Amino acid sequence: MISAAWFSSQITIFQVLEALGVGDGGPEETRQIACPVHQDRRPSARVYGGDENRLYCFTCGRGWDVVGLVMAVQHLTYPAAADWLMETFNLGRPSDLPGQIRQALLSTATSIQPLFSMTEQALRESRLTMGCDRYTRASMALDVVQELYLTKAIDRKTAQQDLTRILRFVKR
């Protein structure tokens, strides 16, 4: 399974909204649209472009990154949503997980490159790790660490220690 962070680095939330046929198709500035997961007379979901690359609904109090949005709108599991994105956007599989982890290490060391995925999704994914291969488990752990760091649940030093541990795990 491929990490949500990787999908976020490949596709914008605007592209996903368009492919799903939701949103207003307006210009790619921060904008407010009808929430795609419930009846919404007044647009209550905000699209955050750039590094944030996510949708947040003020009525639901929930947010979705590119994979999470596909899961929510299409009612798919994480693996099915990942397949949908691979196919819809004709993406090639990422082959360099150690490289991705190193990059995440660099980004915690300098400026934050937000690779946003919601905690709820991270938890769901961590339950899925049972029976998954080493690569997939490391990829999920990478997502969780990034999420925890971005939400300031852990500090930079802890994030770096965790990332180093994941990198060791994947190279073992």
For Zn ion, the binding residues (CB under 5 A) are 35, 38, 57, 59-60
Report the residue number, 70 or 170, with the smaller CB distance to Zn ion: 70
Report the residue number, 72 or 142, with the smaller CB distance to Zn ion: 72
Q: Taking the complex as a whole, how short is the minimal distance between the CB of residue 38 and Zn ion, in angstroms?
A: 5
Query: Which residue do the tokens 């029976």 mark?
Result: 131
Asked if residues 9 and 52 have their Cβ atoms less than 8 Å apart, the reply is: no
Report the residue number, 61 or 92, with the smaller CB distance to Zn ion: 61
Q: Taking the complex as a whole, how short is the minimal distance between the CB of residue 44 and Zn ion, in angstroms?
A: 6
Name the amino acid, one letter, at 26: G
Q: What torsion do the CA atoms of 3, 146, 51, 101 make, to the nearest 10 degrees?
A: -60
Q: Taking the complex as a whole, how short is the minimal distance between the CB of residue 120 and Zn ion, in angstroms?
A: 14
Angle, to 10 degrees, between the axis of helix 134-150 and the axis of helix 119-128?
160
Q: Taking the complex as a whole, how short is the minimal distance between the CB of residue 46 and Zn ion, in angstroms?
A: 11
Write a three-state SS string for 98-113.
HHHHHHHHHHHHCCCC
Report the residue number, 60 or 86, with the smaller CB distance to Zn ion: 60
Which residues partner with 55 through β-bridges? 47, 64
Q: Taking the complex as a whole, how short is the minimal distance between the CB of residue 64 and Zn ion, in angstroms?
A: 10
Report the residue number, 60 or 154, with the smaller CB distance to Zn ion: 60
C-alpha gyration radius of the chain = 16
